[in-house]
Structure 1
Amino acid sequence: MPARIVAIATHVPETILSNAELADLYPEWPADKILDKTGIAERHIAGPDETALDLGVAAAEKLFERDGIERSDVDFLIFCTQAPDYVLPTSACIMQDRLQLGTGVGALDINLGCSGFVYGLSLAAGLIAGGMASTVLLVTADTYSKYINAGDKSVRTLFGDGAAATLIKRNVPGDTGSIGPFEFGTDGSGAHQLIVEGGGFRTPRSKETAEEVVDKSGNVRSRDNLYMNGGAVLNFTLKRVPEVVARLTEKAGLPIEAFDSVILHQANKFMLDSLQKKLGLDDDRVPRRYADIGNTVSSTIPFVLEEMAEQSRFPPGRHMLVGFGVGLSWAAGSISF
């Protein structure tokens, strides 16, 4: 496709939740056990009055300031989040104003989680390929911590809050980067495996949804909190990710060996270890970044990409991006620098 990623900036909130703090709450899970199981040493947590929109704005401001991006160049804004400020209007409209972007820009929210960056990147590339935009700002941000019950160690040890801002531009003669092709997948029959049930119009919040229960593993949660069936999500991932990787390599006309790296959604160490083994990939081709930030949902892949950049410049190469999770939803895409 005639587009490329030109810059990425990330942001995390100041408050840190360490494994030592979690171990104090869950005595049966010492800090070293949490690290060994998840690969995560600490995660950043948004403050009570700090929203995903705030984190996304901070990431975008960093991108503008650090990389000298002109706000007037942006003609479309995509905000991917599952933690909007309001039911309506869309957070992207508010973000346009806070970032002081022109009123001639398009702006929309997409509600996707772990596959959200790959989906958002495909939408940005499609807008550019269709001549509807030339410079797209894709912002991903989530604050899953606000959905998590403090007594639910099954998810509290995994998720951290964070945001990323990615600038996608139309190629001009001489540019070598590319975006695409893509492959997607959806299985809504598994929606209940990773869900916040209470709070929407299907199941409005009430005294009943706020009632806490304790599961057989000792995790405390209500229907207003995040629930994840870890075993079911793992099984779904190990089935669908190899399938979508095979479809993408076929569409791209390239073997998996042609990709310098395969950047997977950074769910946790156990998940990535299992996928890496399933895909038959060496360690040096599966970059990771979760130890100091946790699973930041839609922003995990851009966190890895930003870390790969040297002095804000991406090294030449072709990379596969694979997102998977809540929905159930999955996607894979190819990019090159």
Structure 2
Amino acid sequence: MGAILKAIEYVYPKQKITNHDLSVQFPDYDFSKFEEKVGIKNRYWVQEHETAFDLAKEACNKLFKKIDKEDVDYILYCTQSPEYFLPTTACILQNHLGLKNNIGALDFNLGCSGFAYGISLAKGLINSGQAKNVLLVTAETYSKYLHPNDRSNRAIFGDAAAATLITFSEEENIGEFLFGTDGSGFDKLIVKNGCSRFPYNTQAEEIIYGTENVYTDNHLYMNGPEVFDFTNTVIPNFTKEIVNKNNISISEVQQFVFHQANSFMLNFMRKRLKIDSNSFFIDMEDGGNTVSCTIPIALKKYSQKGCESENIIVVGFGVGLSWAGGLIKINSKL
């Protein structure tokens, strides 16, 4: 008895923001150098009236063109862009998708590690006999948290949603997963105001950080250098631990699919792990960093090339500070 990752679909919002668009707003910054180093050319942002939930519905309905929605018996909804403080967005999604009532539905609040967590949670539900077909939805609209004059984060983050079906299988195609947490770094990537500890402040002071980037405590703040240091200190060794946990060698892994944070960071880790570029997926030119959606989008793109019983290591890392990863096998196009 086991579980298999059966299908993935994803969507971007219709509003496309190019590096040229950003260069008009920030004429003193060389976006050609940014594109070459970070690997992002376009990102997509929702309109003011659109939410992550809207993208989630669209991604799920796209998935239902391939699979029968009547089979879904559990929803795992990963987001840091919920519709409300309460109720649970997954419950609203169940209704809007017209799914049956005798299913489980829950939200979990994780960012860049969320998809890896979700795969492991779905595997646990299936292997324990609590579900047979888990709909894992990741949906984020970080664009709503960005200060208009925060050039750095506006260049990096995009919005998206992905819908993934993880289902019962006679064979186990989802291997062992590992996790990590360092809550002492919670403030390295944060939207400080607007929840219980600090209310939204209409008089919030503008703060300059980095190279003339601007934010307030109502907006997303990321300490890029410290997040980079955390990633490159923790993730290479963590990846080796995942490989060892699954009793294989790095040479037996056909593809490493990491959270698509930025190309410079990914290549830095790839070289530390001594992985050939052909076995290390990087494709974020169109879409940018979509947080919990980057790995399912990357898996979908990679699977279109054709996969035959391939071992793939997925690793997510970021806000929290949180990291997670494990082994999956892909047998066909998702």
TM-score using structure 2 length: 0.96
- Answering whether residue 27 of structure 2 is matched by residue 33 of structure 1, we say no
1:94-173 matches, within 5 Å, as 94-172=92-170
Residue 241 of structure 1: aligned partner: 235
Cα distance per residue 1:65-124 (max 9 Å; x no partner): 1x1x11110000001000001000011000001111100010000100000000011000
- Answering whether residue 298 of structure 2 is matched by residue 301 of structure 1, we say no
In 1: Cα distance, 2:210 partner to 2:146 partner: 18
Going from structure 1 to structure 2, the CA distance change for 1:216 and 1:231 (only over 3 Å counts) comes to closer
Cα distance per residue 1:192-231 (max 9 Å; x no partner): 10100011111111234x3222235211110011000110
1:168-207 matches, within 5 Å, as 168-172=166-170, 178-207=173-202
**Range with greater deviation from structure 2 (231-240 or 27-36):** 27-36
**Range with greater deviation from structure 2 (242-251 or 191-200):** 242-251
- Answering whether residue 271 of structure 2 is matched by residue 283 of structure 1, we say no
In 2: Cα distance, 1:336 partner to 1:177 partner: 9
Q: Secondary structure at 1:207's aligned position in 2? A: coil
- Answering whether residue 76 of structure 2 is matched by residue 78 of structure 1, we say yes
The amino acid across from 1:201 in the alignment is: S
Question: 1:75·1:134 contact (CA, 8 Å) conserved in 2?
Answer: yes
In 1: Cα distance, 2:245 partner to 2:290 partner: 29
The amino acid across from 1:43 in the alignment is: R
Question: 1:177·1:335 contact (CA, 8 Å) conserved in 2?
Answer: no
Residue 318 of structure 2: aligned partner: 325
1:202-281 matches, within 5 Å, as 202-208=197-203, 210-281=204-275
1:51-70 matches, within 5 Å, as 51-65=51-65, 67=66, 69-70=67-68
Question: 1:262·1:285 contact (CA, 8 Å) conserved in 2?
Answer: yes
Determine what percentage of the aligned residue pairs are the same residue: 45
In 1: Cα distance, 2:57 partner to 2:307 partner: 23
Q: 1:91 aligns with which of 82, 89, 92?
A: 89
Q: Secondary structure at 1:157's aligned position in 2? A: helix
In 2: Cα distance, 1:248 partner to 1:288 partner: 20
Give how far 1:310 is off. 3.3
Give how far 1:177 is off. 5.9
In 2: Cα distance, 1:243 partner to 1:46 partner: 36
Give how far 1:34 is off. 2.2
Cα distance per residue 1:107-153 (max 9 Å; x no partner): 00010000000001100000001100000000001000000011011
In 1: Cα distance, 2:54 partner to 2:265 partner: 29
In 2: Cα distance, 1:179 partner to 1:49 partner: 38
The amino acid across from 1:49 in the alignment is: H
The amino acid across from 2:174 in the alignment is: I
In 1: Cα distance, 2:4 partner to 2:161 partner: 20
In 2: Cα distance, 1:234 partner to 1:214 partner: 20
Point out where structure 1 has 5 or more consecutive residues left out of the alignment.
Answer: none
Aligned pairs, number: 330
- Answering whether residue 49 of structure 2 is matched by residue 49 of structure 1, we say yes
Residue 336 of structure 1: aligned partner: 329
Q: Secondary structure at 1:330's aligned position in 2? A: strand
Please report the RMSD computed on the Cα atoms of aligned residues, expressed in angstroms: 1.3
**Range with greater deviation from structure 2 (279-288 or 134-143):** 279-288
Q: Secondary structure at 2:8's aligned position in 1? A: strand
Residue 13 of structure 1: aligned partner: 13
The amino acid across from 1:85 in the alignment is: E
